Structure 1
Amino acid sequence: MIEEISNAEILLPEIQREYVWKPTQVAKLMDSIYRGYPFGSLLFWETDDVPETRDMSVSGPEPTPSKPPLFLLDGQQRLTSLHRVFTDHPDAQVVFHVENQKFQNQSAATRRDPKWVKVADVLDPKASMLRLTQRLLDAGSTLEDHEIEDRLGRIKQLRNRHFVMEVLKGFPYEEVAEIFVRVNSGGRRLGTLDLAMATLSTRWKGVLTKLQDESQHWLGHGYGHIDVNFLSRALAGVVLGRGLSVWSHSKLRQTGDTELERGWEVVKRGLRRLIPLLERELKLTRSDPLPSMIVLIPLVVLLGERSEDTVDEETSKGIIYWLLLATIRTRYSGSTDTRLSQDIRSARQPDPVRALLEGLSVENSRAEVTERALRGRTKESPYFFLSLLVARARDARDWWYGTDILPDTEDAPKLEHHHVHPPSTLDDPRFDKAMVNDLANLVFISAQASKKINGRTPAEYFPTLHEDELRQHLVPVDVALRSPDGYPRFLDARRHLLAEAMNALLDRFRPAFLDEVPVENADPSAGLALDLALYGSLRDGGRIVFTASGDGIAWVGWANMAELDSAIESARIAGIDSDVTIAGESVPVEMLEDSLQITIGPFLVTGTPEEWRTVFDRELETSQPLSSLPPVESKRWDSEPVRFPVTSTD
C-alpha cells in the first residue's frame, strides 16, 4: 500500500476532506499497530470513469503508476499517516523508546536521548538490526540484546502487516459520494459543510479546483480566511438561499450546472465588491482580525446579485453598519445556519440594509457602545476587533518603530497586541487576572515594542513616546493614570475613549433612517459578566469556578475541569453531545448546528467549539493552585437562562 500511494496507484477522489491528523495521533496509530490493536478496514473504489482527485498530503519522488488506480474512500487519515512515517516525512518524525516501548513525535528532548530511535530508520529495508541494537546498547540500554532485537523486529514487521480492504466496483460517482457521506458520518463528525463539499464535487466536476484558485487569489490579497470551506459555504448559500443543514446536500444534488455556474459568479462578484469596500472604509486589509467570516456571506449575496457595477454610498455605509453591529452582537455564535438563512433572505429584499437591520432588531433604534459594555471584556470579545478598527481609523502605528499595526502583505505576521500596564507591574491583590487582561489595557503594538517596555510602568516609558502616539491608540495621557495606583482609573478613562471612538465609527456608517429613533445599547449582554477561574489542572482534579453577575444576577458555581474539557472535545471532534455537572446539577453540552452551548447558571453560553477551546486554553495559562480554591456555595438557578457568548467571558 505504501508503494502504491507513492506510485499514484492509490488516489483521493475530490470528495475527500483534507488530511487533519496531528503528530500525536500519528504516534498513537503506530503504537496501536505495534501492540496488535485493531486498525479498521479500508474502503476503496474501482472505476473506469476517472473522477477529479485531490492531492494526498505525502511527499516523495515523481510517481510512476504501472496499473489503474484505486480511489480511497475511507482510511485517508490512517494511510496518509503510515505513508508519512514510512517515508520519513518531516511532519511525521515518530520515534520509539526501546525500554518503555513508547511512541511519540520527535522533540528536542528525544534528539538528546540516544535511547529513542526513529521509526523510519527501523522500517528502512536497508536498516541493520544488528547495528541499531548495538547503538542502543552503547547508549546504555539495560535490556538484553535479544530483547532489543525483538522489539525493533516488531516494528520492522509492520511492513508485513495485513489490512482488510473492501473495494467497490460498478458504482457511479453520485452513489459513491453518498456512501462516502454515510461511512464517514459514523467516525469523525462529518459536518454540514463537509456534506455540502462532497455533494458539490459530485454535481460539478472540478469544483475543488475552482474553489482553490479563488482561495489563492484572496490569499495574495491578505484575505487567507477566504478558503475552500468559506467559499463552499458561500456558494451553497447563494444556490440554496439559506444556510447549511442536513437537508442541504440532497437539495444541492438536484441543482443543475447552470445554476451552480451562476451561483459561483455571484460569489466571485460579491467578494470583488465587498473586500475593497472593507479595505477602503475600515482599513481592514486582512481577514484574520474578523471574529467571524460567516458575517460576510449575506453581504456577498447582497453585492454579488446586484446588476449595477457600482454600489451607492448609502447602501455601502449600511452594509458596514450591519457588519459592525452583527459582530458586536455575535450574530453567529449560536444557531449559525438558521440565522444565516434569515440574513440571506434579508439580503435579497428590495431594501436589503433595512431588512438586515430588522434581523438584528435595531431597525427602530440607534445602537450605541457604552463604557459599561466594555467593562471586563478581553481579547476574545468582539470589541477587540472594534478597538483595532478605531485605532486604524486614527492611523495608529507601532510605538517606537512606526510600522503598520496591520500590514497587508501575504506573509505578514499575525495581528499582535500587548499590555499598556505590563502584568508584572500589576502583581497586586487589588488586580485580578480579568482586570490585568482587560480590553482597555491592550494596544496593538509589536513584540519588539513590548520588549522595549520590558516590564516598566507607563510612568517610566510613556515619556519616551509622543502624546500623539498615545492618542492614536486611544490611550489617556493623564500623568496620574500611569502608576499601578492609578490603574483602575486608567481603565475607566480608556474605556471612555474607546466607547467614544466606537460610537463615532458606528455613527459614520449609520443609515439616515435611524437618525430620528431612540438610542439603545448595541450589545444585549452589556452589564452582564461571566468570570472563569481555574484552580489546579486537568490531571489533579482541577475545578473551574464560574461567577455570574449583572442586573439582578449574582451566582457562583463550579465544575470539574477534566469533565468539562472532555465534553467540549467530544463535541468539537466527534459532534457527540454529553452532560457535565455544574453547581451540583447535570447540564447538557449540546452541538446545535455549528455552535456548542452549555447552560451555566443564569446564562446559556454559546460559541463555536474553537471559541470554547480558545477560552479554555486561556484559563489553563492562568490557572491557580488547587490549594487556592476558595469555598464555593453553589445555588440552583431556576429562571430562564440568558444567551451569552463564550467570547465575552472574563
Structure 2
Amino acid sequence: MHVDRIERSIGKLIEEISNGEILLPEIQREYVWKPTQVAKLMDSIYRGYPFGSLLFWETDEAPETRDMFISGPEAAPTKPPLFLLDGQQRLTSLHRVFTDHPGAQVVFHVENQKFQNQSAATQRDPKWVKVADVLDQKASIMRLAQRLLDAGSSLPDHEIEERLGRIKELRNRRFVMEVLKGFPYEEVAEIFVRVNSGGRRLGTLDLAMATLSTRWKGVLAELQSESEHWLRHGYGHIDVNFLSRALAGVVLGRGLSVWSHSKLRQTSDTDLERGWEVVKRGLRRLIPLLRSHLKLTRSDPLPSMIVLIPLVVLLGERRDDTIDPETSNGVIYWLLLATIRTRYSGSTDTRLSQDIRAARQEDPVRSLLEGLNVESSRAEVTERALRGRTKESPYFFLSLLVALVGNARDWWTGTEILPDVGDAPRLEHHHVHPPSTLDDPRFDKGMINDLANLVFISGQANKKINGRSPAEYFPELSDEELRSHLVPLDEALRNPDGYQRFLNNRRALLADAMNSLLDRFRPPFLNEVATENADPSAGLSLDLALYGGIRDGGRIVFTASGDGFAWAGSASMGELDNAIESARVAGIDSDVTIAGESVPVEMIEDSLQVPIGPFLVTGTPEEWRAVFDRELETSQPLSALPPIDAKQWDGNLTKFAITSTD
C-alpha cells in the first residue's frame, strides 16, 4: 500500500470525468453545493487563491458506485477509473461550469471582476459574460472582447482580453492529487470518514452512510429501491437519508453520534440484514396507519420525518402481524404530541436515542409518552396556544389534519385538499381575509399571516377570491363549505373591523377540533387524569421584524413576551445570515451580537441553537433559512427601524422552536 502524489490540470480532470475515468464510490454523499458556492470557487481559482487538493483511490476491485451530478455526452473510458474520495463538490462544480450545466450558469462581470450565478438582472446586462462561453475551446477572446466593447464597457480592449484570457487559462490550473494504491475497501472507507470529518464537516448521517456502504455492499441500491417504492406511494420524503438514519437507529438502538461509524463497522451482516427487515416491516405497518387514521396520503405535510423512526422500531419489531387498536391509536397520539412539542427541534439524536429505547420497552406507548412528560396527564390544545402561530408552526400541520378528518374540500372546485399521489397537485394554503383587505395599521404581518387566517384551498380557489373581503365572497359558499374548514359563520366577522374577533373565534374552533382529534387516539390510561397544555411554549411569543436587507446594514428586531416579561433586541441581519450559512453549509459554529451581547450560534447535532433574549431558539438550518426568507419577503425600509431599548437577558433560557416565531 502506498500513496502517489501527482498533479493534473483542471481541463484534463474534466475530460476524465466526461470519459468515465473518474467515478464516485458508493460511500460518497450527494452533490450539495449551491450556485453561490460554485461562483466563489471560480472566483478563488481566477484570483490565484489555493483551491485544495484531491484524494483518489486506484484499485483492481470493482466497488459499487453512484452517479455524478453532471450532464452531457460521455465518451468510452480508455483506462481504468480512479475513484474520487475527497473533492467531489469542487470537481463536480467545475465540470458543471465547464460543460454549461443548467445548475451552474456562472457569469463574470468584466469590469468589477465578479463571479455570480446567472439571474434575470445579469441576463439583461450585456457586460456579464457566461463563463462557459469563455471556457469553450472554440471561443474567440477577441470576439468576446468586441462584444463587451459594443455593450459599452469602459475598459480598454487589451484589459478586457487579459481578463477573459485569465478565465480561459483556468483550464490549465493544476490540482495536487493524492492517489491511494493497494488499499482495501474497508480501509479506504475509514480514510474517507477521517478526511471528511475535518474541514468541511460531514454530518453523522453522511458518515454512517459511508460506513454502511462498506459493511454491506450494495446497500445504496437497497435504500434507493425502498425509497422509490415509497415515492410511488406518495411518501417521497422516505428517501435514502431517512432510511439510512432509520437503519442505523434500529441496528445501534439509538440516534447517531460521532462514534456511530465505528459501531456500525463492528455490526455483523446478520444484524444489518435483520435491521433492514425491521425498517421495511415497520414502514409497511406505519404508513397505512397514517393513511387510515389521519387521511395523510402524502409525506410532504409532515413537519419532521424523524418522528417516524421510533414508531418504525416499535411496529417493525412486533412479532405479530396484527396491530391492536390500542397500540395503533397510541402510536398516532404520540406522533401528534411529539409534533406539537417539536420533539426533534434540538439535540435530535439524543432525543431519538431516548425514544428508540422507549419504543423497545414492554409498554412502548406509555414509555414514549413518559419521554414527553405526559404519561400522567391529558394533553389539551388551548386557544391561547394558537395565538400568533403561523404556517411555520407545528399547529399548521394539525390544522391540515383537522380539515382532512372534517372532510373539508376545496372551495368552488370541490376537490380533495390532499389528493392521493395519482392526482398529486401541490398542497396550497391561502388567506381567508386577503392581505389587501387588511392594509391597516391595526394589523401587523403577524396578525395577517396568523394560522387562524389560513385555509387549505387551491390556487384556483384563491383566484376566485381575487383579493375580495369575506363579506363579498362568503355568500358564494355554503355554510357547510365554510364550517368544514372551521370558519366561523358570524357575518360580523367578515369585515376588517371584525378581524380580531374572527381570529379569536376561529382559534377556538381550531383548538376544539384539535382536541377532538387528540381525544380520538388518547390511550385509555390517560382518560381519568388531569389535563395540561399540550404545548409548553403556549403563552410565549417571539416576533421577528426585518428592516433593510442582508447587504445594506439591515437589522432584524426580536420582540419576546410571556407571562410577566417582555424583552426586545436586535442584530445585524448580515452577521446573523452569515452565521446561519456557515452552520448550514459547513457546520461551523460562530458568534453574533444580539442586544449588544456576543452570543454563540452553535450546531448541536443537526440543530442550530441561538440564545435570543429569554429563549434558546432551536431548529434545523433549513428551518432558520425558511424563516429568514419569510422575513426578507416582508422587510421594511431601514429608515423605519424604531428605537429599541435593548437590554441583555440575565435569566434562565426557555427552549423555543424557530418555527414558532411570528
Where on the TM-score scale, by shorter chain, does this alignment land: which range? over 0.9
After superposition, give the CA deviation of every residue in 1:178-235 in whole Å (9 maximum; x if it has no partner): 2212222223221111111111111111111111111111111111111111000000
Which stretch of the first structure deviates more once superposed, 363-372 or 184-193? 184-193
Partner SS state of residue 441, structure 2: coil
**486, 490, 499: which one aligns with 1:487:** 499
Cα distance, 1:133–1:596 mapped onto 2, change above 3 Å: closer
Could you tell me which of 621, 630, 634 is aligned with 2:642? 630
Structure 1 position 418 matched with structure 2 position 457: no
Q: State the match for 1:231 in structure 2.
A: 243
Q: Within 5 A, what are the aligned runs for 1:171-570?
A: 171-409=183-421, 412-570=424-582
1:577/1:133 Cα in 2 relative to 1: closer, same or farther (>3 Å)? closer
How many Å separate the matches in 2 of 1:538 and 1:129?
36
Aligned runs of 1:8-157 on 2, under 5 Å? Answer: 8-157=20-169
Structure 2 residue 657 is the aligned partner of structure 1 residue 645: yes
580 and 29 in structure 1: CA distance in 2 versus 1, 3 angstrom threshold: closer
SS in 2 for 1:493: helix
Q: Give the equivalent residue in structure 1 for 2:6.
A: none
Task: Measure, in 2, the Cα distance between the counterparts of 1:128 and 1:626.
Answer: 46
The CA distance in 1 between the partners of 2:487 and 2:193, in whole Å, is 53
Amino acid in the other structure paired with 1:274: L
The count of aligned residue pairs is 650
Alpha-carbon separation, structure 1, partners of 2:343 and 2:648:
29
* 3-state SS in 2 of match to 1:205: coil
**Helix, strand or coil for the counterpart of 2:175?**
coil
- With 135-144 and 498-507 compared, the bigger mean Cα shift is at 135-144
1:544 partner SS: strand
**CA-to-aligned-CA distance 1:593-621 (integer Å, 9 cap, x gap):** 11111222222221112112212221222
Matches within 5 A, 1:601-612: 601-612=613-624
Shift of 1:412: 2.8
Cα separation, 2, equivalents of 1:373 and 1:275: 29
Task: Tell me by how many angstroms 1:347 deviates.
Answer: 0.7
Q: Determine the C-alpha separation between the residues in 1 that align with 2:267 and 2:551.
A: 51
Q: What is the Cα deviation at residue 142 of structure 1?
A: 4.1
Q: Is the 8 A contact 2:542 2:561 kept in 1?
A: yes
DSSP 3-state at the match of 1:163? strand
2:181 equivalent to 1:169: yes
Q: Determine if the alignment matches structure 1 residue 581 to structure 2 residue 593.
A: yes
Q: By how many angstroms is 1:90 displaced?
A: 2.0
Larger mean CA deviation between 251-260 and 540-549 belongs to 540-549
1:243 Cα deviation after fit:
0.4
CA–CA distance in 1 between the matches of 2:138 and 2:306? 52
Whether the 8 Å contact between 1:539 and 1:562 is mirrored in structure 2 is yes
> Which deviates more from structure 2 when the two are superposed, residues 394-403 or residues 297-306?
394-403
Name the stretch that deviates more: 29-38 or 377-386. Answer: 29-38
Shift of 1:331: 0.6
Deviation per residue, 1:437-488 (Å, 9 max, x gap)? 1100001111222222121110011111111111111001110000000000
8 Å contact kept, 1:347–1:355 = yes
Q: Deviations over 1:48-80 (max 9, x none)?
A: 122111111112224411111111111111111
CA distance in 2, matches of 1:26, 1:145: 28
How far residue 293 of structure 1 moved from its aligned partner, in angstroms, is 0.4
Q: Match for 2:418: what amino acid?
A: L
Give the conservation status (yes or no) of the 8 Å contact 2:20–2:74: no
Residue type matched to 1:394 in 2? G
Instruction: Among all aligned residue pairs of Structure 1 and Structure 2, give the percentage whose two residues are the same amino acid.
Output: 85
Offset at 1:118? 2.6
C-alpha separation in 2, matches of 1:13 and 1:518: 56
Q: CA deviation at 1:410?
A: 6.4
Cα separation, 1, equivalents of 2:572 and 2:212? 42
Name the amino acid aligned to 2:134.
V
For 2:274, give the aligned amino acid: R
Return the alpha-carbon distance in structure 2 between the equivalents of residues 94 and 533 of structure 1: 33
Matched-pair contact (CA < 8 Å) for 1:288–1:414: no
In structure 2, the partner of 1:620 is 632
Contact 2:108 2:129 (8 Å CA) reproduced: yes
Report how far residue 140 of structure 1 moved: 4.1
Check conservation: 1:553, 1:602, Cα contact below 8 A.
Answer: no
| 8 Å contact from structure 2 (residues 608, 620) kept in 1 | yes
The CA deviation at 1:590 is 1.7
Call closer, same or farther: CA 1:106–1:606 in 2, change over 3 Å: closer
- Aligned mates of 1:424, 1:569 — CA distance in 2: 34
Q: Which runs of 5+ in 2 are unaligned?
A: 1-12
Q: Shift in Å at residue 174 of structure 1? A: 1.7
- Give, as a single letter, the amino acid of the residue that structure 2 aligns with 1:536: G
Distance of 1:103 and 1:640 partners within structure 2 = 46
User: Structure 1, unaligned stretches of length 5 or more?
Assistant: none
1:6 match: 18
Alignment RMSD, CA only? 1.6
Residues 366 and 375 of structure 2 are in contact (CA less than 8 Å); yes or no, is this contact kept in structure 1? yes
| More displaced 10-residue stretch of structure 1: 439-448 or 594-603 | 594-603
Could you tell me how far 1:491 is from its partner in structure 2? 0.4
Given the two structures, how large is their TM-score scaled by the length of structure 2? 0.95
SS of the aligned residue for 1:395 comes to: coil
Q: 456-465 vs 53-62, which deviates more?
A: 53-62
1:411 Cα deviation (Å)?
7.7
- Stretch of structure 1 that moved more, 636-645 or 64-73: 636-645
Give 1:291 shift.
Answer: 0.7
